[in-house]
Amino acid sequence: MKNKVIVSIIPQLKDNYSYIVHSLINKSAIIIDPAESKPIIDFLIKNNLYLKGILVTHHHSDHTSGLESLLNFKKTSVYSPNKDIFGTNKIIKDNDIIDFDFLSLKIISTPGHTSDHVVFYNKQNSLLFSGDTLFHFGCGRVFEETYDVMQISLKKIEQLPDSTKVYCGHEYSIKNLSFLMNNFNDYHLLSDMKKRLLKQIMDNGCSMPFLLGEEKQINPFLSQYSEYFRDYMNKNGINNKQFFKNMRDLRNNF
Ligand SMILES: [Fe+2]
């Protein structure tokens, strides 16, 4: 039971997720990427949780718009990579470790979707909160940096253990998988995954979390370990960087 933590998924807005991570031992809790405060506050009250901090992956409003009312509800530390994010009083950067009494999180800087983007990794429980950098079967749009920078950021995530459970910022899994099946209709792993994905959404209402080890085989933006995607690149005479750019451009227009 030592250090037992629970991750609760809080649907937000149209297709965003915020997460509440809390300790079963002492009821300490943190919030990640709040967009709408009401369901978060309701959850904290219902479960008698002690808020120890709010963490933000990047500056987009669908990850931050709940900050003001949450801070009105309870003053707490806001850990973010950008001083312009509302309420920020702890600036975080690459390789920082945040030690809460029940949870230690490593900050990994992942610029690409935005310049300030970070993700949060907990080694002890194999958890990754990937914001809008890595999605299930996809990755975030590249708004503020180059494709190369985004690809380097995703390669950092790729170094984490296969057993890592990933919680991302949006429910885009079905659309992302449809995009892949449209482009790689002979990749049998994708149709296998579709059955599981639909069952998971039917059973749990969402597709979080997903396993990083499996994602390495099916996500073309994390393609360095997939034989299928290596063959595809060889056949088409393109390298990893060109493949990444082609896939991202195609997905933007899907
Ligand atoms: Fe975003």
pLDDT at position 3 is 60
More confident residue, 3 or 25: 25
Which helix or strand (DSSP H or E) is residue 134 part of?
strand 134-135
Please tell me the distance from the alpha carbon of residue 34 to that of residue 54, in angstroms, as a whole number. 8
Ordered by start, the domain boundaries in the chain are 5-252
Rama region for 112: left / alpha / beta (φ>0; ψ in -120 to 50; rest) = left
What integer is the mean pLDDT of 150-176?
A: 97
Whole-Å CA distances, 35 to 23, 56, 82, 123, 204: 22, 10, 17, 26, 21
Q: How confident is the model at residue 225 (pLDDT cuts 50, 70, 90)?
A: confident
- The per-residue pLDDT for range 16-34, each reduced to its tens digit, is 999 999 999 999 999 999 9
CA of 133 to the centre of ligand 1 (A): 8
CA of 12 to the centre of ligand 1 (A): 13
Residue 138 has pLDDT above 60, yes or no: yes
CA of 190 to the centre of ligand 1 (A): 26
What integer is the mean pLDDT of 158-169?
A: 97
Q: How confident is the model at residue 2 (pLDDT cuts 50, 70, 90)?
A: low
Please tell me the distance from the alpha carbon of residue 20 to that of residue 111, in angstroms, as a whole number. 24
CA of 179 to the centre of ligand 1 (A): 20
CA of 231 to the centre of ligand 1 (A): 32
pLDDT at position 1 is 45
Q: What is the DSSP letter of 113?
A: S
- The alpha carbon of 164 is separated from its chain's Cα centroid by a whole number of angstroms, namely 12
CA of 48 to the centre of ligand 1 (A): 30
CA of 58 to the centre of ligand 1 (A): 7
The CATH number of the structural domain formed by 5-252 is 3.60.15.10
CA of 132 to the centre of ligand 1 (A): 5
Please tell me the distance from the alpha carbon of residue 64 to that of residue 185, in angstroms, as a whole number. 38
CA of 237 to the centre of ligand 1 (A): 32
CA of 142 to the centre of ligand 1 (A): 10
- The per-residue pLDDT for range 52-74, each reduced to its tens digit, is 999 999 999 999 999 999 999 99
CA of 82 to the centre of ligand 1 (A): 14
CA of 157 to the centre of ligand 1 (A): 17
What integer is the mean pLDDT of 184-202?
A: 94
pLDDT at position 223 is 75
Whole-Å CA distances, 116 to 50, 103, 154: 28, 23, 14
CA of 3 to the centre of ligand 1 (A): 31
